Amino acid sequence: MAKLIISNQRTEEMVGDLQILSPEYREYLGNQAQRMAWSMQEGDVIVLPVLPSEEFLEYVTGLLCIDREKITVIAPPAGRHGAGVLCRDRLLNEELLRRLERLVASHGIREIFPFHFDSTIAAMTRRLGLDSMTPGFRFLDQGGGRLLNSKAAFRALAAGAQVAVPEGKVCATRAEAQEFIWRELLSRGRPAILKQDFHVAGFGNEIVSPVPGVEPVGALRTVVTAGPEDLAEYLAERWDWLTDGDRSPVVVERYFADSLPLCAEFHLTDRGVGLTGHGAMRMEPVLNGHVWPAPASGLPGFDSFLHEAHRLCASIHTMGYRGIVSVDAIATPARTVLINEFNCRVSGSTHAYHLGERVVGTDFPDRRVLVEQRRRTFPDAVFERLADSGLAYDPVSRTGVLVTVEDGNASGGYGEYCVVAENTEQADRMEQDLAGLFARSGSAS
């Protein structure tokens, strides 16, 4: 069954005003959107913000063992937010819609697979006549996605599903926030993270800490508020920003410094809730990219984390959502796993699970480890150099380096690799070899 893939990595409903994303970041997103190419199957039509190179498309289709000629790739004209994001005006462009109508008919498309199923995608789905065959369409069409995108809704649903979460509170007033943050957290020496209700990837989060030196992971900055007056001053200054002009409550949670971010991904279909895989953010040497499966899967609390995440997804499933849910958690320094967010959309791990299954093999999480490198500057002729050095992914040994996203930036820095190895030791060696290869070529990142 052919599908229509739409790599809308950021939407108005995820971010608010897309203009708050810097031009550089939007350009980066436009490049990163290529990740969804790893979900292609024969007959698919894929809409990307920017056209990738033919070389990359042939590389991906080759590894996926599908015919490049049976894939249609489209990038609509740049819109009011530039070329990097598939914003509303680009996707609802009449010319694009007419072309997609023809392609839906000629390719026999029966499924739409966007990065984020927002109201723009709902309008497209209806226009293309795919609404009645899209599981969960009615829920999404009636604002279900917006409901689930709320961090306040996460707190309520997590409490309802009785999963372990950082202590916290949904605060509708400044007085409530001041009281909770000071009494329950700061006065006990605990930093707090404050989250805007609707935002993505840490852009709406800030940390307040009673002591200096707390690094803001998943947040814009840390503000030191040593006393209740400092906190009051901070809240007075930032309340408007935190609550989007008092439009939404702010979510407050205890912030655990030096914790390890984890994620688990589920696919919710009419048949039920299935675990797709799990991973972790890489913390060393810098926070950059993921590793799948999560090395923390050996922790005593990891299995119950997966069970709790499954329970949370069962709740979301009952509400009517169908599609991908990624559940985020942290392993605290005390080795406790606490769930702190879910996202009902494609994640930064989805392409890895798809290529893991289809390129590496369905047993990959048991037999292989995937290590991601992000924001790399590519040397010229990256595919040839990888092949010549013997580092390129080898379908026989099922190890090697995959180019998951091509570096489409003139000054470099947008490329992504995925190292496939039998274990983390081998992955470390391959990462060193990769660094050595490109250092010699004079184009290392």
Q: Using the minimum distance from each CB to a second copy, give the nearer residue, 162 or 432.
A: 162
CB of 269 to a second copy, least distance (A): 14
Question: Measured from the CB of residue 153, what is the shortest distance to a second copy in angstroms?
Answer: 6
CA distance 351 to 301: 27
Cβ distance to a second copy smaller for residue 33 or 161: 161
8 Å CB contact between 311 and 126: no
Residue 329 phi/psi, 5° resolution? -150, 175
DSSP state of 74: E
Instruction: Classify burial at 52, counting beta carbons within 10 Å of its beta carbon; exposed 0-12, middle 13-18, buried 19 or more.
Output: buried
Interaxial angle between packed helices 424-440 and 382-389, expressed in degrees from 0 to 180 and rounded to the nearest 10: 120
Q: Which amino acid is at 99?
A: R
Enter the tokens of residue 342: 């879910």
CA distance 380 to 278: 33
Looking up tokens 């791990």 gives 349
Residue-by-residue DSSP string for 192-235: EEEEESS--TTTTEEEEESSS----TTSS-EEE--SHHHHHHHH
Residue closer to a second copy (CB basis): 32 or 125: 125
Contact 321, 268 (CB under 8 A): yes
Tokens of 177: 């926030």
Supply the minimum distance, in Å, between the C-beta of residue 172 and a second copy: 8
Question: 121 vs 291, which CB is nearer to a second copy?
Answer: 121
Name which of 63 and 123 has its Cβ closer to a second copy: 123
**Is 7 in contact with 86 (CB distance < 8 Å)?**
yes
Q: CB 151 → a second copy: shortest distance, Å? A: 10
Least distance from a second copy to the Cβ atom of residue 272, Å: 13
Output the six-digit token pair for 401: 């380096």
Are 250 and 171 a contacting pair, CB within 8 Å? yes
Residues of this chain that interact with a second copy (CB under 8 A) are 119, 136, 138-139, 141-144, 146-147, 150, 152-153, 155-162, 168-170, 172, 176, 246-249, 314-315, 318-321
**What's the closest the beta carbon of residue 275 comes to a second copy, in angstroms?**
19
Task: Yes or no: say if 322 and 303 are a contact pair by the CB < 8 Å rule.
Answer: no
* CB closer to a second copy out of 161 and 208: 161
Residues 6 or more apart whose Cβ sits within 8 Å of residue 87: 8, 11, 12, 18, 79, 80, 81
CA distance 27 to 297: 35
What's the min distance (Å) between Cβ of 89 and a second copy?
Answer: 13
Q: How far is the CB of 154 from a second copy (least distance, A)?
A: 9
Please identify, using beta-carbon distances, which residue of 146 and 190 lies nearer to a second copy.
Answer: 146
Q: In this complex, which beta carbon is closest to a second copy, that of residue 167 or of residue 233?
A: 167
Nearest approach in angstroms of CB 371 to a second copy is 36
Nearest Cα residue to 48 out of 4, 99, 105, 80:
4
Nearer to a second copy by C-beta: 72 or 119?
119
Between 191 and 249, CB nearer to a second copy? 249
Read off the tokens for 59.
């590389």
In this structure, are residues 68 and 61 in contact, taking their beta carbons and an 8 Å threshold?
yes
CB of 336 to a second copy, least distance (A): 18
